Structure 1
Amino acid sequence: MDIVTKLHQKYGGAIERALEHYLSIDVAPDFREEVLYQIKTGGKRLRPLLTLAIAEAVSGQWEPALPAATIVELIHNYSLIYDDIIDRGDVRRGMPTVRKAFGDNAAILIGIWYREAIEEAVLDTPKPLVFAKEVAKVIKAIDEGERLDILFEYAGRDDPYFIKARKRDVTVEDYIHMVSLKTGVLIAAAAKWGVLSVSDSKELAETAWNFGLNAGIAFQIIDDVLDIYGDPKKFGKEIGKDIKEHKRGNAVVAIALSKLPHSDRERLLSILSKAEVGEADIKNAVALLDSVKAREEALSLAEKYRREAERYLENIPNNGTLKELLDFILERQY
């Protein structure tokens, strides 16, 4: 039995009940099914599992961290709803996205509902004022990460702001900064908020944040590799979607662009600039990525951040379960 299955057996029921509770407060009966749809599509709940596991590791109890764990998962799903609206995504977790199932306007309203459910959960944390500030900081960081991700796209947006502000060159360092915001901070928050729920140690909370941040960056790099090279049946998402969406904010693409000779770099950028990127284009793009071993370098970069996460993890007490969870997250193939 893997560690996530074990943690689900321990915490999973409480997490699902809490998610449904906060999303159901004051919801109209004929809107409830649509509001709950996003969390009912599944997901491994890795972030709230991390919150509860780290709280228990630090204090021997996880129940005080349940509101924080719920907030983490609500923020995650809230961001996915809007991410799919922005990217016109149709499939997530092997199922229609909220926007695909109910339309963009309904998805916007559902996203607003998630945001306010987060606020109600904040009131039930042990330190509501502290958590209110934390939540605002994290949501702003995710928003900034999404803004940068769009600015890193090579083409495909007709919004006046993004046409005007599009970044001309994207370095690997730019990519790391973007994913640390878009993905890293929420996993960092998942870890830190578990500590904040049960401890007053600022040092331990900061250690947990740094552990989660580095784990989150490694997680996103692996996710980028899987976007291009993964099995869609296992991954639950459309493979090559980042190439179709003209993204330079993918680890493999960013690395390749930094290493390709000029003519091949222009060929890859030409593919990323196409209004419609077909399967032949994706194959050609992958061949260019492979020519400079960008996949292998991306995996090496993920390993660097994994080692950094492990370094911080050593300073968290009773960390055996957390080590298992980190291994599961970063060794996934789906």
Structure 2
Amino acid sequence: MDILEKLHNLYGHEIDEQLIKYLNREVSEDFKDTVIYQVSTGGKRLRPLITLTATRACGSDYKVALPAAAIVELIHNYSLIYDDIIDEALLRRNKLTVRAKYGDNAAILIGIWYREAIEEAILETRDPVSFARETARTIRAIDEGERLDILLEYSGRKDPYFVENRLGPRLLSNWESLYNTYIKMISLKTAALIRASSVFGAMSANTPHCVKALSDYGTYLGLAFQVLDDILDIFGDVKKFGKEIGKDIKEHKLGNAVIVMALKELNDKDKEDLLSILGKAAITNDDVKKAVEIISKTNARENASKMAMEFAEKSEKSLNELSNNEFVEDLREILRFTVTREF
């Protein structure tokens, strides 16, 4: 039994009950299944599991953190609904995305419903004002991270703002700037919510002395999580990963750890060939295969893996600031799962 299975057995049912409770409030009967669809498609529930485990690691009953656990999972799914609209994605978790199943306009309305469900959950936390501020900070970070992610695309977007402000091509002549912008982007788009998931544990337990350690734990865990996600996007098994392999290539992205690392090593000819693929209006599966072959000439996969492990080591080190108990060990196990996962 891995750590997620163990924690799902302990908390999974109550987490799902919380999600349904907040999403069902005042929902029209004929809209209910549509609203619930996003959270019913599955997912690891990693973020709420971190919140409840962190609360216990700080010495409190996990039940005080159930509204906070709902908040982080609702934020996660709220962001996915809009990510899929922006990327015109058809599949997530091997199932139709909300926008593919119900249409973009319905998906926008569903996303708004999730945002208001988050507000309902905030009202039931220990300190609604503090949780509201942290929630706003987190959602703004995710939004800014998404903006940077799109700006790091090499081509493809036709929106005037992103065409005029595209960063990707400008940063190719300065690898350090490209790398630093990538790290900033994932620290916002991914790590900010995992950080909040951890900090919400300390806030729910009313243990301010735990906040710094859990903030560092969540931030570095989030960075490691995203770098590994980038590796799996290029080299993963679609049956295990649950998402389309090479999706970042098809979306013209430079903001992928493997692509960033490859660009540092590629000779001029191979770099030109890779950028030629990323610059195509429509990128085929054969193009993805060719891009992966080019990337595989470098040590990009190994260097990205090393990057993930360095973030993981910093995450684990931060836990040394907490009083050791079985729940801190569970946080360590979550970290180990994160850097060895195949999905």
TM-score, with structure 2 as normaliser = 0.95
Distance 1:126 1:15 in 2: 17
Aligned match of 1:187 in 174, 177, 194? 194
1:6 is displaced (CA, Å) by 1.3
Deviating runs (4+, > 3 A) in structure 1?
none
Match of 1:329 in 2: 338
Match of 2:249 in 1: 243
Paired-residue identity, %: 53
1:316 is displaced (CA, Å) by 2.2
Tell me if the contact between 2:138 and 2:196 (Cα under 8 Å) persists in the aligned partners: yes
Q: What secondary structure sits across from 1:291 in the alignment?
A: coil
Residue 58 of structure 2 is aligned to residue 55 of structure 1: no
Distance 1:193 1:325 in 2: 16
Q: What secondary structure sits across from 1:68 in the alignment?
A: helix
Pairing 1:173-322 to 2, within 5 Å after superposition: 173-201=180-208, 203-317=209-323, 318=325, 319-322=328-331
Distance 1:9 1:279 in 2: 39
Distance 1:296 1:287 in 2: 15
Match of 1:137 in 2: 137
Distance 2:212 2:120 in 1: 25
Q: What secondary structure sits across from 1:31 in the alignment?
A: helix
Q: What secondary structure sits across from 1:197 in the alignment?
A: helix
Tell me if the contact between 1:78 and 1:115 (Cα under 8 Å) persists in the aligned partners: yes
Distance 1:139 1:234 in 2: 29
Distance 2:75 2:91 in 1: 19
Match of 1:5 in 2: 5
Match of 1:89 in 2: 89
Tell me if the contact between 2:60 and 2:205 (Cα under 8 Å) persists in the aligned partners: no
Aligned residue pairs, count: 333
Distance 1:280 1:89 in 2: 19
Tell me if the contact between 1:59 and 1:199 (Cα under 8 Å) persists in the aligned partners: no
Distance 1:43 1:282 in 2: 26
Tell me if the contact between 1:172 and 1:258 (Cα under 8 Å) persists in the aligned partners: no
1:211 is displaced (CA, Å) by 0.6
Greater shift, 152-161 or 288-297, is seen at 288-297
Distance 2:123 2:206 in 1: 18
Greater shift, 244-253 or 308-317, is seen at 308-317
1:258-279 superposed Cα distances (whole Å, 9 cap, x missing partner): 2222222121111100011112
Distance 1:113 1:244 in 2: 30
TM-score, with structure 1 as normaliser = 0.98
Distance 1:277 1:55 in 2: 45
Pairing 1:87-126 to 2, within 5 Å after superposition: 87-126=87-126
Gapped regions of structure 2 (runs ≥ 5): 173-177
Q: What secondary structure sits across from 2:125 in the alignment?
A: coil
1:33-54 superposed Cα distances (whole Å, 9 cap, x missing partner): 0000000000110110010011
Q: What secondary structure sits across from 2:217 in the alignment?
A: helix
Distance 2:312 2:163 in 1: 35
Distance 1:329 1:43 in 2: 14
Greater shift, 305-314 or 318-327, is seen at 318-327
Q: For residue 332 of structure 2, what is the amino acid of its counterpart?
A: K
Q: What secondary structure sits across from 2:158 in the alignment?
A: coil
1:125 is displaced (CA, Å) by 0.3
Tell me if the contact between 2:58 and 2:210 (Cα under 8 Å) persists in the aligned partners: no
Residue 44 of structure 2 is aligned to residue 37 of structure 1: no
Greater shift, 108-117 or 252-261, is seen at 252-261
